[in-house]
């Protein structure tokens, strides 16, 4: 079990409330404290305990205090290990809209870790997960982003998944996307939004 050393120059708040050393087991206990400040500090310091990623994920699903949720996600992002990433993906299926959005923003900070999972996410049976996956792509500086988006608008049957992908393709797309965008317009010829978004994307691509 890892031990976390007290920082060399602790804040006043730390000096008043934290003990000299805090082992992972005691941090885990504090993560369930009724005091949100204790939970927040525990979540922050657990960054030194990668074996506790799953416990952080479980806490994230029930945590109601926004500031604690933010710290848990920051810690998981800093850990960036497979358990943390898998837990974030799991949260994309949550009924809690705020949690889903926070997780999307956190995943955007982990391009290298998230990229290997992207094909799986874009093929997920749940269209909402596929939409969130496209949202994550927005900030994923990865050479495959354009080809992933082209695959989405070619193959995905769900209009809102395609709509989300078209928005992004207008920003990152090249002439490689033109034919697929034209085909998308034909496939959803009765959807005014798709016509609007695809025309906008085509105009932007042609301007660049």
Residue 124 within binding range of another protein, rule CB under 8 A:
no
Sequence-ordered strand ranges (E) for the chain: 3-5, 21-23
Q: Which of 1, 2, 86, 98 binds another protein (CB under 8 A)?
A: 98
Q: Least separation, in Å, of the C-beta of 159 and another protein?
A: 6
117 in Cβ contact with 85 (< 8 Å) = yes
| Angstrom distance (rounded) from CA 27 to CA 56 | 11
Nearer to another protein, 83 or 200 (CB): 200
| Angstrom distance (rounded) from CA 46 to CA 34 | 18
Nearer to another protein, 60 or 163 (CB): 163
Cα separations in angstroms, 53 against 68, 149, 160, 163: 15, 31, 33, 34
Q: Which stretch binds another protein (CB under 8 A): 34-42, 51-59, 79-87, 155-163?
A: 155-163
| 4: phi then psi, degrees, rounded to nearest 5 | -105, 120
Residue 100 within binding range of another protein, rule CB under 8 A:
yes
Rg (CA), the chain: 21
| 173: phi then psi, degrees, rounded to nearest 5 | -75, 155
Nearer to another protein, 53 or 165 (CB): 165
Residue 173 within binding range of another protein, rule CB under 8 A:
no
Residue 157 within binding range of another protein, rule CB under 8 A:
no
Residues within the interface to another protein (CB under 8 A): 95, 97-98, 100-101, 104-105, 127-128, 131-132, 135, 159-160, 163-164, 166-167, 170, 191-194, 196-197, 200
């Amino acid at each position: 079990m890892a031990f976390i050393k007290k920082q060399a120059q602790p804040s006043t708040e730390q000096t008043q409330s934290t003990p000299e050393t805090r082992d992972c087991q005691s941090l885990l206990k504090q993560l369930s404290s009724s005091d949100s400040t204790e939970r927040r500090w525990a979540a922050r310091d657990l960054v030194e305990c990668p074996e506790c990623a799953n416990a952080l994920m479980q806490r994230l699903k029930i945590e109601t205090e926004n500031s604690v949720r933010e710290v848990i996600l920051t810690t998981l992002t800093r850990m960036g290990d497979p358990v943390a990433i898998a837990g974030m993906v799991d949260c994309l299926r949550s009924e809690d809209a705020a949690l889903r959005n926070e997780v999307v923003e956190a995943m955007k900070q982990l391009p290298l870790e998230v990229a290997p999972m992207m094909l799986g996410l874009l093929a997920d049976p749940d269209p909402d997960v596929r939409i969130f996956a496209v949202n994550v792509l927005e900030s994923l500086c990865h050479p495959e982003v354009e080809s992933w988006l082209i695959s989405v608008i070619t193959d995905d049957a769900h209009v809102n998944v395609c709509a989300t992908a078209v928005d992004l393709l207008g920003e990152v797309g090249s002439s490689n996307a033109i034919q697929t965008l034209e085909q998308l317009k034909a496939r959803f010829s009765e959807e005014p939004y798709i016509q609007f978004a695809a025309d906008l994307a085509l105009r932007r691509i042609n301007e660049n």
